[in-house]
Amino acid sequence: MPHFDKHFTLDEANALLPRLQEIFRRVHDLVKEARGGRKPVFENPEKLTAGRTNGKQYKRTSPRPRNREEITKEINDLITEIADQGIVIQDIYKGLVDFPAFVNGEEVFLCYELSDGDRVRFFHAIDAGYAGRQPLPEDMD
Residue 88 C-beta-side C-alpha neighbours within 13 Å: 18
If you count DSSP H runs as helices and E runs as strands, how many of each does the chain have, helices first?
2, 5
Q: Is 116 left (phi over 0), alpha (psi -120 to 50) or beta?
A: alpha
98 within a domain of the structure (yes/no): yes
Determine the length of the chain.
Answer: 141
52 within a domain of the structure (yes/no): no
Give 40-61 pLDDT, tens digit per residue.
444 444 554 445 455 555 454 5
What b/e sequence results for 52-66 when a residue is b if at least 16 CB atoms lie within 10 Å of its CB, and e otherwise? eeeeeeeeeeeeeee
Q: Where are the beta strands (DSSP E) in 10-71?
A: none
Mean pLDDT across the chain: 85
Give the domain extent around 135.
10-36+57-140
**Which DSSP category does 60 fall into?**
B
Give how many domains the chain has, as a whole number. Answer: 1
42 within a domain of the structure (yes/no): no
49 within a domain of the structure (yes/no): no
| pLDDT at res. 67 | 82
| pLDDT at res. 55 | 53
Pairwise CA distance, residues 70 & 43, whole Å: 26
62 within a domain of the structure (yes/no): yes
> Residues with Cβ < 8 Å from 21, sequence gap 6 or more?
95, 114
41 within a domain of the structure (yes/no): no
Give 10-43 pLDDT, tens digit per residue.
999 999 999 999 999 999 999 988 887 654 444 4
92 within a domain of the structure (yes/no): yes
108 within a domain of the structure (yes/no): yes
Q: What is the model's pTM?
A: 0.77
